[in-house]
Structure 1
């Protein structure tokens, strides 16, 4: 395994020579610093897996990203349809204008489609955030990330634990690079300054360290009435104690609330529409407690120094739990019980987390990945049969 020192900026790549394939807003966030590092070498391709002009367009603007090439007909389809349609269009695009390398991140359907398209054309493939494992085969994302790791030419592991997962699957040591996670630099760059954060809290009518910030969007928590009711009941329970609960609601969750007629559970919760990434970070930075099923929030909380209850039964990011920032708790009374316990010792917990370093690296991941990508693009890769 290669442990990478902080490299000089990569400037040897030709314009538009690296296809960065993504399909969701979290991927936009996590890949933004790498896209900036690549500069005009980056060619942004969005599969449309989660494309919404209001939300996705806002993320592009907030993150300073170029308008992507957008595939058609992918959003809203089942998993197999998304992968198949994306793969066909990506293959045609790569045949017409072959990139020197393809970069994908994480474990989405777009990630798998981009990886398969690169592999089919013998194009060097970079997997950012390689080696994550939940060991939960019920998660489609687990299948996606495992398959991508096994076809990638460069495996950018964020942590030593991720690298160990790759070695345990007998992946070649020379393909693995310990880079850190781009989330560290994303949060540092996008977090609003103190004055902007103070104005943001005032606009929402909350005080620093005096509220809970919640997000819920994963299918396991929104696709059935029972699961969503369990989560909302516990958020309502927190709000009943007098601690404000801010709840920026994902469109999937809002649709589920309406479908299952659960609006009554929102009466005491401060529900807002989706917020921009910088605004979310500003609110998260001063929350006494975060409650979320998001993978990204599990990483962001370690940079912000905030405690998080992860509303899931398994996680591919155990580092946040091991470092004391987060705890796994499935929907149900245990969520409200643990929230009450953590809020009760909030000053001590916040002080301890403020002094705990993030397990996700030093904020130089994008520079490392860009340099390694430039090096990889110079090596020939055999065309797959």
Structure 2
């Protein structure tokens, strides 16, 4: 494992959503940014393609973490990050969201007294069954600067007794990620054409969360509802390798037949389809944010959400089973007029300048004028 360059900002990440949401921040920091990839999600088909497609410089990779249990992921990443920060202390550490990688980065920064900046602070589902809820609460307690995406996120932090001086409402970096990575109209049309899809004429679905994939009953219920929906409109399902393995282990592979199953998509490809889907069905947190920028309706298949801002206009929260089908048909019934109304709304997650605000905060935190490419 190579040492960090001197006078660098360590960007610790380990999953594809973190890559997406931190791309613009990394670009703005320029040579000052050094990406450390824990390998929480790593394979060439998924994270490797994301790195290439997003134009992120080659990271420093940790080893022995991907595919391991949560405690092992955190402890193994923490040990390696601690050694890295001891050998070459960064000016600051940036973590994003609520992953095991983010918690390991936060603990390592705290242990070595390196200033910690938490991007997307203050999200709360109030669901203690979610490992991510524990991660995000712990990270917020360790952070020196908490970049809250929305005023509601700030209110959550204040309610927990966190000093207001540590909190800045920056917006969510997902807004600039979508604007920056959404292909133009010609390329979007090409993506649709390759799959034989018409604008506003299909449903785009994703399923990957353990609460849905690790429970064969829930997984069967979701796929059954998607199959029923496919009798009325094409349903496109980019299939995560982990989800495919769970489908096969549960003996549910036959339910994939009526669906248009694709390989995992690059971020631009996914946005191209999402922009023209009549409806999305997903258990992803990021998709809840992305639809507010794209102006598309969404059915969220989860027990709880940490993004209630999306629920006001764009999304409906349901469990697996018949309520999924009912909510999906209601979303499709919005029609062109309903989608136009959503498209005219401002995203509750900000104005697309979050990364620039965070870079400015990093300049203050590190107290090293002139270090940053864009500060």
Asked if these proteins are the same fold (TM beyond 0.5), I'd say yes
Query: In the alignment, is residue 159 of structure 1 matched against residue 142 of structure 2?
Result: no
Structure 1 residues 360 and 122: CA distance shift in structure 2, 3 A:
same
Q: CA offset at residue 15 of structure 1?
A: 6.2
Alignment match, 2:333: 344
CA distance in 2, matches of 1:15, 1:34: 19
Alignment match, 2:83: 92
CA distance in 2, matches of 1:344, 1:300: 21
SS class of match (1:20): strand
Alignment match, 1:309: 299
Q: CA offset at residue 208 of structure 1?
A: 0.3
Alignment match, 2:314: 325
CA distance in 2, matches of 1:300, 1:164: 22
Kept after mapping to 1: 8 A contact 2:316/2:327: no
Alignment match, 1:50: 41
SS class of match (1:233): helix
Matches within 5 A, 1:1-385: 17-241=8-232, 243-322=233-312, 324-378=313-367
CA distance in 1, matches of 2:334, 2:292: 18
CA distance in 1, matches of 2:358, 2:334: 40
Kept after mapping to 2: 8 A contact 1:155/1:176: yes
CA distance in 1, matches of 2:239, 2:350: 30
Kept after mapping to 2: 8 A contact 1:48/1:74: yes
Q: Structure 1 stretches (4+) deviating beyond 2 angstroms? A: none
After superposition, give the CA deviation of every residue in 1:311-359 in whole Å (9 maximum; x if it has no partner): 001000010102x100101100010111112212322220110111100
Unaligned runs of 5+ in 2: 369-375
CA distance in 2, matches of 1:240, 1:341: 16
Structure-1-length-normalised TM-score: 0.93
CA distance in 1, matches of 2:130, 2:205: 22
SS class of match (1:228): helix
Q: How many residues align?
A: 364
After superposition, give the CA deviation of every residue in 1:252-280 in whole Å (9 maximum; x if it has no partner): 11001110110111111000010100000
Q: CA offset at residue 16 of structure 1?
A: 5.4
Kept after mapping to 2: 8 A contact 1:87/1:114: yes
SS class of match (1:302): helix
CA distance in 2, matches of 1:349, 1:251: 34
SS class of match (2:95): strand
Cα root mean square deviation, aligned: 1.0
CA distance in 2, matches of 1:177, 1:346: 38
Q: CA offset at residue 225 of structure 1?
A: 1.0
Alignment match, 1:383: none
Kept after mapping to 2: 8 A contact 1:15/1:42: no
Kept after mapping to 2: 8 A contact 1:16/1:42: no
SS class of match (1:136): coil
Unaligned runs of 5+ in 1: 1-13, 380-385
